[in-house]
Amino acid sequence: MALTASQYNFIMRQYEERQTRNRHLREERLRHIYRTVEGYQALDESVASFSVAQGKKMLAGDDGALSQLKDKLSELSHNRARLLVQNGYPENFLQPVFDCPDCRDTGYADGQKCHCFKQAEIALLYKQSNLESILEKENFSTLSYSYFTEDTLTNYRKAVEKCRNFAGNFKTIYQNLFFYGTVGTGKTFLSNCIAKECIEKGSSVLYFSAAGLFDLLARSARDYKNQEEMSALCNDLYSCDLLIIDDLGTETASAFTLSHFFTCLNERLLRRKPIIISTNLSLEDCQNRYQDRIFSRIASNFDFCKLTGPDIRMAKRREM
């Protein structure tokens, strides 16, 4: 889907806020260093006074002044870094701070929308702003094996390993994953672990419940005036770096939405764009529920990962 002007402005305002926040953070750090690291402020001031002095010499026609200035500045910057380290701070403690170093929090890198901009766009257009808070809780660092018993633990460990490999090699090895198994065995959790790592490494991730995706396809198509919206939606579905479809089998499907779903699958497979699908259906039910052309695409292009074990969600709820 395409951004409206006010949505675009909303995203750009977030960048401005980020820049302001990080500028303040850096100023705060500088004041702290001036207070606590003896000699640091004096070094900073000598940079300014020496630059002015050399500037005057240059204006007066002193040809050597510029190279003297460069030498002196590099010496001073070296001294400042050393002073920080001696006092237990990282060398880059006073460097500018950015949430996204790739675009320096401007939203654009090399004249193109940065990956962080694309993810912000997705969050806004597909109302996925809650994804961020879910991923804060559900990621590889919060993963737990404690709900599994001996017989199911080995299988779960293998699944986790597969997911770590998927996320770790995301940009170099093309793969699609298909999680299936009974309810509450961690399928969504593992998809979220992958999503979090991919977003952090600068990939755009579009996440849908199957019900949500099929609804959106049906809605976009019903409104015949909305051809542009539909083609923008398809463009996002085909081109985002990772598409996650959760809970396949819970959607209300029509011949029309199924055909769009097939096109989406096919298009991404052709473009070698990874997909993760999860379902509570058995493979047999899947095969019965979906047309042969859909199931055969999945069977021949996805890495299957079966999850078994206790219902983690129920176990967590009981604990609470």
Which residues contact Zn ion (rule: CB under 5 A)? 100, 102-103, 114, 116
CA torsion through residues 183, 184, 190, 191, sign: positive
Smallest separation, CB 59 to Zn ion (Å): 40
Placement of tokens 């020496």 in the chain? 50
Q: Give how far the C-alpha of residue 261 lies from the chain's centroid of Cα atoms, to the nearest Å.
A: 24
Smallest separation, CB 201 to Zn ion (Å): 12
Q: Which of residues 38 and 200 has its CB atom nearest to Zn ion in the complex?
A: 200
Smallest separation, CB 116 to Zn ion (Å): 3
Smallest separation, CB 139 to Zn ion (Å): 20
Three-state SS sequence of 179-208: EEECCCCCHHHHHHHHHHHHHHCCCCEEEE
Measured over all CA atoms, what is the biggest interatomic distance in the chain, rounded to whole angstroms? Answer: 87
Beta carbons within 8 Å of 94's beta carbon, 6+ residues apart: 26, 29, 30, 33, 80, 84
How far lies 140's CA from each of 190, 193, 197, in Å? 8, 5, 8
Smallest separation, CB 96 to Zn ion (Å): 14
Q: Residue 120's CB: how many other CB atoms inside 10 A? A: 22
Terminal Cα distance for the chain, rounded: 40
Q: Which of residues 55 and 96 has its CB atom nearest to Zn ion in the complex?
A: 96
Q: Which of residues 116 and 312 has its CB atom nearest to Zn ion in the complex?
A: 116
Q: Residue 216's CB: how many other CB atoms inside 10 A? A: 18
The span from the CA of 156 to the CA of 167, in Å, is 16
Q: Which of residues 44 and 99 has its CB atom nearest to Zn ion in the complex?
A: 99
Q: Which of residues 83 and 123 has its CB atom nearest to Zn ion in the complex?
A: 123
Smallest separation, CB 113 to Zn ion (Å): 9
Q: Which of residues 18 and 187 has its CB atom nearest to Zn ion in the complex?
A: 18
Q: Which of residues 114 and 248 has its CB atom nearest to Zn ion in the complex?
A: 114
Smallest separation, CB 205 to Zn ion (Å): 15
Whether residue 138 contacts residue 196, with contact meaning beta carbons closer than 8 Å, is answered with yes
